[in-house]
Amino acid sequence: MQALILSRLSPKQKRQLRLCLIASVMSGGAFATLGVVGSEAPQTTALSQSLKLGETNVVSLDDEDRGVFREERVLRGDTLATVLARLGVSDSQAFQYVRGHPDARALANNLRPGRALRAETDVDGTLVNLTYSLSPTESVTIARDGDTFSTSRAELQVERRVHMKSAEIRHSLFGAADAIGLPDSVTTQVAEIFSGDIDFYKDIRKGDRFRVVYEMLYHEGELVKAGRVLAAEFINNGKTFAAVWYDNPQDKEASGYYTPEGKNLRKAFLRSPLEFSRVTSGFGGRMHPIHNTWKQHKGVDYGAPSGTRIRATGDGVIDFVGKQGGYGNVVVVRHQGRYSTLYAHMSGFGPGIKKGARVSQGEPVGFVGQTGWATGPHLHYEFRVADAAVNPLTVTLPAALPLDARHLADFKAKGVPIATRMALLREQQAFGPVVALANFE
Ligand SMILES: [Zn+2]
């Protein structure tokens, strides 16, 4: 069928066809194995669609008679050599370049089953160009120019759509998120955004509610992945916390989440040293069997699976790494002012964690274990002010810097449409799955 169609085409039409196939490759359009010479898998649907496009959308092409196009998916066990062979590439120079050149190696090292590779070759198998999807949003292209090669990367054109949802928590944050079909990455972002104010392990109550405005990324109408949270509101134990994303491309430092009034949500300390995730969410609130209350042992215990990452709750310098009797493996971090934090019972320490090393908030200092006096894997966490332990769940933490005046005006201008959406969402009487699709950028 394919040969039949091709034989009916004039040389000019064939060139047009090739051109629109190039366009199709560049736009990420799906087509497979198609060439001027015969091929085993005719794709007549793709061909006729391309022809229609070609009639309205043609630029003249140079007269060089090149161009066999093929697309293959990476199969389990494929190597660069096997996949190039299937693509009809018979070109040792190209093979050496893709395998060995630092720019091109990203392709050879990231062959993942199911991902598409597209090649254009001359009729004798000499590579013209090769394109591979490194990720759902990034592609890499290797092109031959005479005897040399070049590598370029391109971001896929994605369309951002804004979604809004709200939910009430009955059992757990992830349970509520599942009920409204909220992607996990959005749920964890919500937990991260409010992690300076809310300890998602211990503070979440039945009846807590949240609303979230977030981006979903689409490519040619297909969902690629969930994007960034643009605004969120969390009502915890009757108290409302709100956040709006502020993006300032000229000043990355200022970009972040702020309250609608411009107060920074990033605090000097996180409420919990453990990252909140689907895996660890089921462990919330469980008390350690040996120490039942905070008073008995000057700290807070977090039951969590062995190996869970433990984060420094604030910027600081490592003051102690090693064993300390019943505490097992311990890290102590000294922070600005009179603050220090202690993390105990670790199975191991984070990379580069040694006395005197600087750590940033959120950086892993170690992993949950049960070394020392512990009957199960858990983290024992202490928060000290002037070397005296205080309850980290209730202590008033030092406030972070607000947005300065010159950013504040910009922030207020950008935040208005999002605040409007949030207000709209708030008017919805019933909590539950509320979805509104709109672009308001
Ligand atoms: Zn303990």
Q: What is the pLDDT of residue 41?
A: 36
207 C-alpha to center of ligand 1: Å? 29
334 C-alpha to center of ligand 1: Å? 20
CATH number, domain 159-267+400-427: 3.10.450.350
- Give the model confidence (pLDDT) of 323-335 as tens digits: 999 999 999 999 9
290 C-alpha to center of ligand 1: Å? 7
Q: What is the pLDDT of residue 66?
A: 56
- CATH topology of 159-267+400-427 equal to that of 281-390? no
Nearest-CA neighbor of 37 among 84, 64, 83, 69?
A: 69
Is there a contact between 169 and 204 (Cβ–Cβ < 8 Å)?
A: yes
364 C-alpha to center of ligand 1: Å? 20
CA–CA distance, 350 with 271 (Å, rounded to integer)? 20
Question: Does 66-157 carry CATH code 3.10.450.350?
Answer: yes
297 C-alpha to center of ligand 1: Å? 6
CATH number, domain 281-390: 2.70.70.10
pLDDT < 50 positions in the chain: 1-10, 14-63, 284-292, 429-441
Q: What is the pLDDT of residue 221?
A: 82
Q: What is the pLDDT of residue 8?
A: 45
Q: What is the pLDDT of residue 202?
A: 83
The model's pTM = 0.65
94 C-alpha to center of ligand 1: Å? 59
Q: What is the pLDDT of residue 49?
A: 33
Phi-psi region of 174 (alpha: psi -120 to 50; beta: other; left: phi over 0): alpha
State which amino acid sits at residue 129.
Answer: N
Please state the domain extents for the chain: 1-62, 66-157, 159-267+400-427, 281-390
Is there a contact between 127 and 148 (Cβ–Cβ < 8 Å)?
A: no
Q: In sequence order, what DSSP letters do the residues of 23-54 get, joined into one string?
A: HHHHTT-----EESS--SS--HHHHHHHHHHH
